[in-house]
Amino acid sequence: MNILPRFAVVLSLAFACTASAMAAQASKQTSESHERARIPPMVDDLERRTFDWFWDSANPQNGLVPDHYPTKSFASIAAVGFGLTAYGVGAERGYITREQAVERTLATLRFFHDAPQNDSEDDATGYHGFFYHFLDMDTGKRFSRWVELSTVDTTLLLGGVLFAQSYYDRDTPQEREIRQLADEIYRRVDWTWVQARKPLITMGWTPGGKFIPHDWQGYNEGMLVYILAMGSPTHAVGEDAWKAWTSTYDRTWGEFRGQTFLNFAPLFGHQYSHVWVDFRGIRDAWNREKGLDYFENSRRATYSQRAYAIANPGGWTGYGENVWGLTASNGPGGLVVKSGDTERTFQGYTARGAGLDYISDDGTIVPTAAGGSIAFAPEIVVPALEEMKRKYGKHIYTKYGFVDAFNPSFHTKTDLRTGKLVPELGWVDTVHLGIDQGPILLMAENWRSGFVWNVMKKNPYIRKGLQRAGFTGGWLDGARAEP
């Protein structure tokens, strides 16, 4: 304080307060020092680089984040959701100031709050509170007529919106506006409208084709769709929706590569919902019956993928205990390569994975498959990230962290849709995808501090959705669900 105390007692109190503040600061520094000692430098570096991808790639005028970067791209609303959450991480880590995070977040929320919502083909950003999967980076309108109004991508966007609502809790005009905008964006989403085949929720809608003839069921990244749909204070779906969602679980419950778990071949399905929800110790009826929570299920899925890579049934180059990971990603391209009597098919963008439900493996390794699982199984993920960087980092580790994917088995000279051929390695992608960068950054932060999870535990809509779905135990016990 910049005042001179008039009395000795005031001076004594000032010294006591200063000593207390210094002790608190020393304690904080000691805690941070211990964390730095525990967190491998490579992970610390990866988190910062991945954050920079979101900060540098977004349009600061409207907050839209590209699907891929640094090449020209349309915006991905799911990537925006990851980005909104990333800005809070950046503020906490000191990558940017809180004021910078507030400014970018406000630009984003103002855009989505005010963007046109109607049923036109070309002059809308969304409809009934939902948003189109891909948007024009500048205008924010539906990017093309092949783009659907996506329930799951809107949900991932809302993960970031609700994070902002709970994180920016200070009594300033800017942070009050963030909370108000976030609340209004979430409240207007009409979840009951997308129950085309009630009680399930459809995957999407288009003005021309209307509702997509597929619903969210089984087990995949759609878990958060139902949690947010059940937590809505304005258009909530019934509790029978969660029962319908879990009713087909047993189709993929079983043993794969030494682990018994609820299978979903690509690892993103085991990661996305967990970015915002800490499932440790909370269980729904299905969890209680099987004797595990969804966090443990994702841990087993991670170990299963590593075991698959070690076994390497396809005989792909480079696979091993520290080089593994299958999930949705770019690839060398849709073509068949023949070598003698051997014929191998390589895919472009596809949902690669290995599980009881299916196996899609063309030798393409996706770093986010491991990186996004760091909170589940750091003991096997950290060595994998370090080994991939050590072995291939010259070509796959850039100023923005790991590129989307690489394939040491592909060496065919051809016109590539994306990526490039590296003689000593194989095919290497030249872009980073927002939906792959997000889990790397945010799950790394959840592992090291629990930051995103702890913020979201304060959100009444998340709590209400979980409780209506039947989750109990752990941090949910005694929680109030009312907004």
Nearest to 301 by CA among 352, 354, 351, 366: 354
Query: pTM here?
Result: 0.91
What was the pLDDT predicted at 478? 64
For helices 460-468 and 223-231, what crossing angle results, to 10°?
110
Residues 6+ apart with CB under 8 A from 78: 133, 152, 153, 156, 157, 434, 435, 438
Of the candidate CATH numbers 3.30.1360.70, 1.10.10.60, 1.50.10.140, 3.30.200.20, the domain formed by 39-252+268-306+367-384+438-476 belongs to 1.50.10.140
Residues facing residue 210 across a β-bridge:
206
Q: Cα dist. 94→42, 132, 405 in Å?
A: 18, 33, 29
Domain boundaries, the chain: 39-252+268-306+367-384+438-476
What was the pLDDT predicted at 35? 53
Supply the Cα-derived Rg of the chain in whole angstroms.
23
pLDDT tens-digit profile, the chain (483 residues) = 333 333 233 223 333 333 444 444 444 444 444 454 489 999 999 999 999 999 999 999 999 999 999 999 999 999 999 999 999 999 999 999 999 999 999 999 999 999 999 999 999 999 999 999 999 999 999 999 999 999 999 999 999 999 999 999 999 999 999 999 999 999 999 999 999 999 999 999 999 889 999 999 989 999 999 999 999 999 999 999 999 999 999 999 999 999 999 999 999 999 999 999 999 999 999 999 999 999 999 999 999 999 999 999 999 999 999 999 999 999 998 888 887 778 899 999 999 999 999 999 999 999 999 999 999 999 999 999 999 999 999 999 999 999 999 999 999 999 898 999 999 999 999 999 999 999 999 999 999 999 999 999 999 999 999 999 999 999 999 645 444
What was the pLDDT predicted at 26? 42
What was the pLDDT predicted at 302? 98
What was the pLDDT predicted at 3? 35
